[in-house]
Structure 1
């Protein structure tokens, strides 16, 4: 790690594998400046300037298309606007402070490395606790080799004398890292009546979380989920403090499905209050959080400036202005500084998918959507005559943005763009199919028929591909060929998102014309009430998580673990975004977490 850093520059190319070396990836003379991005944006849009001026003039005088002033879905505006174009903490952003933070973080990292090394001599329980703490504090990428070596070593440890809490932590951490250990380790914790011998809430919680990494046919894990959920729900009202918080959070989203970075600051506060981790670990967590925050603020400036250049919000006034929320979403896929380019590209792609979603869902007529689909299939605006000027303008900006992404790729990486384009075209075709279904009032006869279209219109197959585009050499042509086959783990991601989305948006979408949901299809297929249908769709989501876990633990999967981790993290973010509400559409639900992660630094003296 170098001791100096220039935060006025930021690499959009990958900095290589994190693996302990990306507390703050220093810029080099060859790395592009933010100002380069601004110049590039001007250059890529120059050839469309005449069309844009015409579009704007037409929009100002458009007296026919009254859709421009309507907001049929009642989308709430984002509260962030241009905030990250201008925000910076003067003290934290000073070169002197940055240099000190990086140097101090490197020193403390060496102290923590000694703790990790010495843990080889610890008992199993405390070794597992240390690994779990490093992961909850988002420090695991700094000690990746050490953690992987430790997990490989303890995989064959003798668990005979270990309590249920320790065994559950062992099972959870190993399966979370892709080791398919047997659930038979829990057999000795069952009594003759079939109940689990959990002595306290901590054991119940540990078993509950571990059991959610189960696959099909692992009956003891199914029984553990039912048993622990029942008992945790019963004791929760009598608990308080961090344990009550942990149980409540787990009942909403089990720990294996939660997004680490979203909760990291909570755990820093909790561990500090309860004195459960070494002070050096906490200090490193705070320094690392501040350093990452500076990176993320710079990336937010870039992505906000790109969004302003898109100018979609002024042309499609009820499209969701969610670029900060999009970036926050993608932060859950990869938060480490070395993945800067990947984050920016993936944020652009998810924001573009949102624009398409809103145009097809809320703006375009069936004829306009057909024409827009034709333009995307040809990847050209020359065929856009007949589109409203605002849609034509948006289409031009979207194609420009893909040109910007292409510019970010090295010559040997250019092969990635056709994959990204093909997935985008496939998404648009899916949206267009749903428009036809909506206009015809067609309800698919079965959930399976519904998913033939709707598992793709959640855009997750596109996002899975896009999550590879900005990564380094770990993403090979074989990886893109693999993701293009819609493998089972990607299919499970797509289905989980579709079911989560339908469960949370069903009531809102009844207020406006909308394509039928999987809930409607289940009601039609089985002639049941909405209450029963909702329960069955929830059950199907859990069933699909078992499909996902099976693929995650599949030893025959030749795809690098770092790429599979992106897909797992994408799936985790879906659980977060659609937990109890559609948090993306109702973006006010996210403002406190966004403010904490991107605006509030830790006060660290130097």
Structure 2
């Protein structure tokens, strides 16, 4: 990772171009050294003087700084500070610091905001024909998504979960919105379907463990998921309460349907792996429920070790990954599980699933962003401790200080995720790790849409006006 394009090419670029080239190279998994490409613009000399008045260049430098790797703080953190200082000096800070950086924003949202912006029509540097084509493309894809949402809502009503678990949050539209931002391409309909269905079920499951189930009921349900077989969902559920039987049946039917598709298309029997992932999630939920009932406050590391699983990111990605690739064997090898087409595999064993590092990192971001949005409401309800509460205890810190520490942890995790995308691409021999049909793209987009959902509050538990408008604009309002 120590050689950038300037080692091989004599690129005489201005700040805006250099920052853009750096961001594009990093974003496509191509090695690029920030010291070579960017430091000349803020390290003193004539280039720095010119850069201070280059508004486009400063904004590009600010965005490029969010593709840092661990250990690059001396360069890219300094670059961000330089950009922010000079943008603030020109009173441009409010226009960008209130928004998420591009690297943390789902591409579908970036496209929508760009196409709805006035400058798209006013900027003479942009070909109007290209803008019209892009708008038509957005609207056509939106129509595809809207048609899929109708089917998801029909499935949800037929499942009866909304009536059988009336105490739980009904968030099927929000679930599909997230799915459409994780995998927006029209040909990834199966991926969106399994993501939306699984996510909608998870919201109800989370409420069972957090709010409704008794300790004995939760232990019985977790045990029933662990004994899941394909004889009969009702028989495996045993003597569970009726609302838990309904949840058990929904989990079983949804995962069986998803696994049958993978088996039919690719010849791989992934149902035991899905079962193991559901059991791991329920066990992690149960740990949090026990912390809550016992009044136990874990350390930050102990909390996050369990919390990246309870984020539900691993389960969602595991269900989604086989739908986007023509070579599911590669995914199974990444999960370190030997499979064969006869339907047997070690996924039914007792050990934990070995998820790829990409999955863990995006799920850690998921967990920490969720905590930042939900900490206050959950602490008032007396729920299990969040990462912020753990930091407050461990650091003897105020809530404000703990929130700052968690935000720093999110930024550091993003640096690890940026690097892992490039490392994973090199290991797999991929020239573009962020193509639509890649694990890296799913993991990145999961982390990105989570930032959006939890940016100004808990957009799942209590959707804000902004969240509702965003869903309308993405799914219902043509450009």
Quote the offset at 1:213 in angstroms: 0.2
Query: Once structures 1 and 2 are overlaid, which stretch shifts more, 209-218 or 256-265?
Result: 256-265
Quote the residue 2:168 is aligned against: 319
Which residue of structure 2 aligns with residue 310 of structure 1? 159
- Please give the residue correspondences for 1:558-577 in structure 2 after superposition, counting only pairs within 5 Å: 558=428, 561=433, 562-577=438-453
Match in the other structure for 2:458: 582
Shift of 1:597: 2.3
| Alignment pair present for 1:227 and 2:97 | no
Match of 1:481 in 2: 333
Describe the SS at the equivalent of 1:435: helix
Where structure 2 has 5 or more consecutive residues not aligned to the other structure, the ranges are 336-352
Q: Does 1:391 align with 2:244?
A: yes
CA contact (8 A) 2:201 2:250 kept: no
Cα distance 1:191–1:182, how it changes in 2: closer, same or farther (>3 A)?
closer
Contact 1:368 1:386 (8 Å CA) reproduced:
no
**Match for residue 493 of structure 1?**
362
Paired with 1:453 and 1:523, the residues of 2 have a C-alpha distance of 18
Q: Which has the larger radius of gyration?
A: 1
| 8 A Cα contact 1:155 1:174, kept in partner | no
Given that 1:430 and 1:456 are in contact with CA atoms closer than 8 Å, whether structure 2 keeps it comes out as yes
Checking the alignment, whether the CA contact within 8 Å between 2:226 and 2:275 is kept in structure 1 is: no
SS at match of 1:581: coil
CA–CA distance in structure 1, aligned partners of residues 8 and 467 of structure 2 = 42
Find the aligned partners of 1:157 and 1:279 in 2 and give their Cα distance. Answer: 34
Work out the CA distance in 2 between the residues paired with 1:480 and 1:154.
38
- What do the CA deviations read for 1:532-570 (whole angstroms, capped 9, x no partner)? 111111111111111111101215432852221111111
Matches within 5 A, 1:371-382: 371-379=220-228, 380-382=233-235
User: What residue is the counterpart of 1:596 in the other structure?
Assistant: 473
**Residues 191, 556 of structure 1: alpha-carbon distance in 2 compared, 3 angstrom cutoff:** closer
Which residue in the other structure is 2:290 paired with? 436
Secondary structure of the structure 1 residue equivalent to 2:315: helix
Aligned length: 440
SS at match of 2:182: coil
1:131-280 aligned at under 5 Å gives the runs 157-160=9-12, 162-184=13-35, 185-192=37-44, 197-218=51-72, 219-236=74-91, 245=95, 247-248=96-97, 251-270=98-117, 271-280=120-129
* Gap change, CA 1:169 and 1:599, over 3 Å in 2: same
Q: Please report the RMSD computed on the Cα atoms of aligned residues, expressed in angstroms.
A: 2.4
| CA–CA distance in structure 2, aligned partners of residues 156 and 307 of structure 1 | 56
Measured in 1, the distance between the counterparts of 2:255 and 2:122 equals 47
- What is the CA–CA distance in structure 1 between the aligned matches of 2:54 and 2:85, rounded to whole Å? 14
Q: What is residue 418 of structure 2 aligned with on the other side?
A: 549
Determine if contact 1:465/1:480 at 8 Å carries over to the other structure. no
Cα drift, residue 313 of structure 1? 1.6
- For residue 408 of structure 1, the aligned residue among 228, 240, 261 is 261
Residue aligned with 2:179, SS: helix
State the distance in 1 between where 2:62 and 2:5 align: 25
Instruction: Give the SS at the match of 1:485.
Output: coil
Deviation of 1:234 after TM superposition, in Å, equals 5.0
Q: Call closer, same or farther: CA 1:353–1:234 in 2, change over 3 Å.
A: farther
Q: CA deviation at 1:386?
A: 4.2
Give the deviation of 1:195 after TM superposition: 6.9
Residues 432 and 177 of structure 1: is their aligned pair in 2 closer, same or farther, counting only changes over 3 Å? same
Deviations 1:159-194 (A, max 9, x none): 22x110110011111111111211021122134499
Any gaps of 5 or more consecutive residues in structure 1? 1-151
Match of 1:512 in 2: 381
2:209 pairs, out of 360, 382, 406, with 360
Give the Cα–Cα distance (whole angstroms) in 2 for the partners of residues 493 and 596 of structure 1: 26
Alignment of 1:439-458 (within 5 A): 439-444=293-298, 446-458=299-311
Deviations 1:73-108 (A, max 9, x none): xxxxxxxxxxxxxxxxxxxxxxxxxxxxxxxxxxxx
Looking at both structures, which has the greater relative contact order when contacts are Cα pairs under 8 Å and sequence separation is at least 6?
A: 1
Counterpart of 2:272 (choices 418, 426, 429) is 418
**Segment of structure 1 superposing worse, 355-364 or 553-562:** 553-562
- Alignment check: 8 A CA contact 2:379 2:385 kept: no
Measure how far apart 1:325 and its partner are.
Answer: 0.8
In the TM superposition, residue 480 of structure 1 has moved relative to its aligned partner by 2.6
Distance 2:220 2:85 in 1: 53
Bigger mean CA offset, 433-442 vs 460-469: 460-469
Query: Please, which of 381, 399, 408 is the counterpart of residue 539 of structure 1?
Result: 408
Q: Residues of 2 paired with 1:472 and 1:486: CA distance?
A: 17
Q: Is the 8 A contact 1:164 1:198 kept in 2?
A: no
Moved >6 Å (runs of 4+):
152-155, 193-196
Query: Which residue in 1 is equivalent to 2:344?
Result: none
